[in-house]
Every structure is written in C-alpha cells, then in structure tokens.
Structure 1
C-alpha cells in the first residue's frame, strides 16, 4: 500500500515551509502574500501526491472534535433488542450528521463517571447518557454542564435532576392506549399486572396510565385487580395469582412484554385462555410466539434519534421531551381511534 502523503512531504516536494503549505490548503495563501501561481502549484501538488487533511486535527483547530460521547448505564444482561434500538437510533443519527461516537456501556455509576471524565479529557462535542439515581454521578454531570459541556439525558425518571434536556418515552400515555384498546374491545373488568417500585419508575407511570384510562371511560378502579410484581426478574408469582383466580378478569394489561408472556404461559398450563392480554415495550420475541399478543411500542429508536438532534442543535434547553408510544397488534386485529 502506498504511504499516505503528509503535509511535510508536500512542503519538501515544493521546497516551501510546512506553515506556508498549510495556509494554502486552508484557503489563506493570499494572507501571507503568495502568488496565484504558487497557490495553484501547491494545490496541484497536494492532489497529485494524494494528500488528505487530518480531519480530527482540522476539527480541533476549529474548536470541535466531531465526536459525541455516549454512556449507556444499563442493568446487568440488558443489551437486548430493546436497548439495541436506542443505540441504533443514536449511532445512525450521528452518522447522518457526520459525527463519530465514543461509546461506553456499564451497569455501575462509578464506571460511568470514569467515562464522563474521559469524555471531558477527549474534548467531545457533547454527551448523551442514560440515567442512574446516584447523587455523585448526578452532581458530576451537572458540574460538566456548568462548565459548558453540551449534555442530553435519556429516560431520566425525575424531571429537573439534570440541568439539561431529557428525552423519554411517554409511559403514562402508552399505558393509557393499551388499556383503552382493551376497553374498546368491550372489556370492563380489566386487571393490571404491575411493577410499582416507586412513583418515579416507568412501572408506576404505566400504572397511572391504566387508572387514567379506566377513569376516562367511567370504569371503576379496584386495587384487587392490580397484581404487583415484587421481583422484576421473576413475574411468575404475580402471574400465578391471576391464573388461579376463581373468576378471571376479562382482560389484563401487563406492565411489560415479559410479564405478559409469563401470564400467558401460566394461563396455558391451566387451559384458561379466554382472556385478552396486552403487553408493553414491543419486544422482538413477541411476534415469534405461537399466540402473539398486542403490545405497546416503546420508542427507543426514536428517543436515540431525538437525543442526537437535540444535542447537536442546542434546542429545547432544560426541557423534557416526551415521545408518544403506539400500539402494535401483532395479529390481524384492526383498531380505529
């Protein structure tokens, strides 16, 4: 392979200083009194030698690196199709803007802080990060913002904890749509397989959407129809409670697709398949089930794309941006709202 010509190589070929050649290649040859003939000769020689300017060096001279730092703080074993959509939305949009991505993925806030320090030292043009409710991490990120770093967060549960825009999916609205779907199918006794860990969690917001839909259609709310999942990794005990009821609800809104599938299996084991189930998140595995159920598409790809657009445009400073989910039927059902 032919060696790549450097600025020094071009200068030696022309018997000019490196500084003079650099000025010509940056359209500043006239500023140092070079003639049109010399400028033309420099440009022709550089092209002939195959010289290509170092994009990062040029970017640094212009006060930017064209690199965006991305730090995904995720629970263990969570690099699934669900989070791949988020990363895909970020990376594809950065490519559209001719930006490079410096990616860190971790489950520990202390590791995320190391990533942030690396981003700062690397002089990235901006940072996109998911959240962790860790005071030291939150304070560090806010200090970076105070220093002038451009930051956008994704899916932060509590508005205002970071001094920057936050892009999230509208969990409450998505749950409303799911429950409304069941209501419009004629169901009145609708249970909820819930995960209400705290009032800032996505599970609690989905519970609120469920209650809001019942209220909007003047259906009574009953705590007896809410079955809480205590351990997010094991929804079976709560699903078993529903499947063992002497009188089943007409339908169930499950807080996510994994719990919906667990309930479906629990009912199948007891040959009790007469109720409708709808999930949430639009996980890839659902469409491959023997009996796929409807679900809510949580807009992870769209969130990643929007985060990049907001970061690079500087728009909506300190605002929370919610992206509305939509229903996915996974069968031949037609729904008209």
Structure 2
C-alpha cells in the first residue's frame, strides 16, 4: 500500500482531469452550492461566514481551478470576453492600443478577441456577426466607412459597444478619439512658425471622419495664415501598395517643386513619404519640413528624427475600457459619452 500526502493527491487530480466545483466542495468539505455562491461573489449575501469563504477560495487557488467558460456563459449569459475590431493589428498604433486594452481587460477578468478589418467594409460586417455568434459581452470597434449599419444593429440589440479612433456623425454611440482637428491645426501651425509657406498635406481617400477632421485642421491653419493652396493636397488610395504610394508622392512633389513643408495624416503615409524623399534627393529639414501623425520606430531612428503628432494611446485605451465596462454593468442606465483626447506634438529635428 502506498501512502500519498494530500498535496500530492491534489496534484494528481489536477493532472488527471479538469477540476470541477464538486472537487472543490469535497476538498473544502462544504456543499456544492456553497462553492457556487463563493465563486459568483454571493457568499456574504447568502450568509456564508468569512472563514468558509476564505477556505473555499484557498482550495480554488490550491486546485488551480478554472471555470468552464461555456457553462458560465449558459448560466449567466456572459462569456467575460470583449471583441476588439481594429483596422490593422500590425500597425504600431493599433498594436499598442490593443495591448493596453488587453491589459486593462485582464485586470477585470476579461479576455479579448482581436480582429483586423484592413479597412474592408464587408470583412468588418462579417467579423461583427462572427463575434456576436461567439457571444462576446461587448465590442470595441475602429469602424470602417460603411460599418454604421452593423453598429446600429448592435445598439438595437443593446449590445455594449464603444467606438475608438473614429466615429459616425449623428450616431448616438459612445466613442473615444483624439481631437484630430486640433492636432492637425497645431502641427501645421508649427511648420508655419518656422517660415514655411508652401505646405502640402498628404491624406488618404477613405473619407473617414478622423481623416476629414485632420485635413480640415490643416486647411484652417493655412487659411488663417493666408497661405492655403488647394493644389497642395494629395489623396492616396488607401488600398494601394506601399510602392504605389511612394510613386504617387514622387510624382506629386516633382509637379510641385515649391513645396517646402508637408504634413502626413497617418504614419504609413509618412513612411512612404520618407522613401519618396530619398528617391527625390530631398534633405530634411533643409529642403523640406516634415511632420507625421502617429509615431513609429522608423521616425525615431530616421536621420533627422521626424516630428510627430502623437496620439494619447494609453489614455484612449483606458477610457474606452472604462466606458465599455460602464455599459456592461449598467445595461440600460449608462450614459453615452463622446470623449476627445488631446494629442501631443513631439518635436524632433525634421522641422
């Protein structure tokens, strides 16, 4: 006969089969219902003593118990999960944003499902439907141009949702975004104060609200200084390749040789621009003053380092999770909040 201490028995049970609340009840010598109440934070409400609650919690930790998410979902209607839909998870802005959102979600016991849309409306809509079928408790979405109908569906179903980075005018849904207009106005003004007068702006053709606001900020800063020239605006095809973007920027600057400053309204356009300038033989900031929205490792490593309008990623992510949790906890009693976070001009040596 072999004798094994209780600790080793516990380890063997953990290795042999999935721990259930019945195992916890047996180990703690309490009823299954008592374990259930403790696991669902209803111990005190049900009159269970502090000593018994602590005893059950100790056994839960000892057995390394993990609740069955499917069973929990069927019982409570919740999966403790969030669907995060962004434009492109490989973009440093969105990857850092997603990381902070996940860190905040983990703190409150939630897991995050990541999905990238590549700014494709059809794919975005399909992702929303897939996550609905997965029964996620809430959505954090960077919407594509025509995703407003899917978001209307979520609102009608009373599914918690917060938009991030962009939103739709007239849609009554919580969102957290940077003050894009002010950011572009400040960035353009910074170039102007350095004596540049022929300042171009490089945007994409997506038509999304955040890009429109950035372009409007640039336009107003230029008009207020009396130097606006509509011919110095270039719109790039969002879905074109990097090589195609570089070539179009090269042609644009070859056709507008008086340009002495440029504002890129997204970092991937700024990266394409730097490669175009290399082909053109332009030196910064002697020939051209440059600022880009959204930071990137390449901007810091470039010679000279590139001045950027940095989005407050941490603040945006934390506030977004807070708003989503408020909706999930309050259900019909939450307040729609539309939050603007101010960006920061990180001054380097490209202006």
Residue 61 of structure 1 deviates from its aligned partner by 5.3
1:169 aligns with 2:181: no
After TM superposition, the structure 1 stretch with the greater mean CA deviation from structure 2, 45-54 or 101-110, is: 45-54
After TM superposition, the structure 1 stretch with the greater mean CA deviation from structure 2, 97-106 or 311-320, is: 311-320
Residue 151 of structure 1 deviates from its aligned partner by 0.5
**Partner residue, 1:94:** 105
TM-score (norm 1): 0.75
**Partner residue, 1:124:** 136
Could you tell me whether the CA contact under 8 Å between 1:281 and 1:296 is conserved in 2? yes
Residue 235 of structure 1 deviates from its aligned partner by 4.0
Query: Separation in 1 of the partners of 2:309 and 2:38?
Result: 57
SS of the equivalent of 1:159 reads coil
1:220 aligns with 2:238: no
1:68 aligns with 2:79: no
Residue 42 of structure 1 deviates from its aligned partner by 9.7
Residues 277-325 of structure 1 deviation map (CA, whole Å, 9 limit, x = unaligned): 2222222211111222212113444433321121112498444322222
Residue 16 of structure 1 deviates from its aligned partner by 7.2
1:27 aligns with 2:36: no
Q: How does 1:263-302 map to 2 (within 5 A)?
A: 263-268=276-281, 273-302=286-315
Could you tell me whether the CA contact under 8 Å between 2:165 and 2:210 is conserved in 1? no
Query: Separation in 1 of the partners of 2:24 and 2:177?
Result: 51
Residue 158 of structure 1 deviates from its aligned partner by 2.8
Shift of the 209–106 alpha-carbon distance from structure 1 to 2, 3 Å rule, reads closer
Query: Separation in 2 of the partners of 1:229 and 1:66?
Result: 42
Query: Separation in 2 of the partners of 1:30 and 1:198?
Result: 55
Shift of the 14–109 alpha-carbon distance from structure 1 to 2, 3 Å rule, reads same
Residue 58 of structure 1 deviates from its aligned partner by 6.5
Query: Separation in 2 of the partners of 1:89 and 1:116?
Result: 21
Could you tell me whether the CA contact under 8 Å between 2:81 and 2:110 is conserved in 1? yes
Could you tell me whether the CA contact under 8 Å between 2:43 and 2:53 is conserved in 1? no
Shift of the 131–24 alpha-carbon distance from structure 1 to 2, 3 Å rule, reads closer
**Partner residue, 2:20:** 6
**Partner residue, 1:138:** 148
**Partner residue, 2:191:** 182
1:310 aligns with 2:316: no
Shift of the 29–101 alpha-carbon distance from structure 1 to 2, 3 Å rule, reads closer
Shift of the 236–202 alpha-carbon distance from structure 1 to 2, 3 Å rule, reads farther
**Match for 2:94 among 83, 90, 101?**
83
1:103 aligns with 2:114: yes
Query: Separation in 2 of the partners of 1:139 and 1:130?
Result: 14
Query: Separation in 2 of the partners of 1:177 and 1:286?
Result: 19
Could you tell me whether the CA contact under 8 Å between 2:73 and 2:79 is conserved in 1? yes
SS of the equivalent of 2:159 reads coil
Query: Separation in 2 of the partners of 1:180 and 1:171?
Result: 14
SS of the equivalent of 1:168 reads strand
Residue 19 of structure 1 deviates from its aligned partner by 3.8
SS of the equivalent of 1:312 reads helix
**Partner residue, 1:192:** 200
SS of the equivalent of 1:3 reads helix
Q: CA RMSD in A?
A: 3.9
Equivalences, count: 318
1:324 aligns with 2:324: no
SS of the equivalent of 2:281 reads helix
Listed as ranges, the gaps of 5+ residues in structure 1 are: none
Listed as ranges, the gaps of 5+ residues in structure 2 are: 1-10
Could you tell me whether the CA contact under 8 Å between 1:240 and 1:266 is conserved in 2? no
Could you tell me whether the CA contact under 8 Å between 2:24 and 2:59 is conserved in 1? no
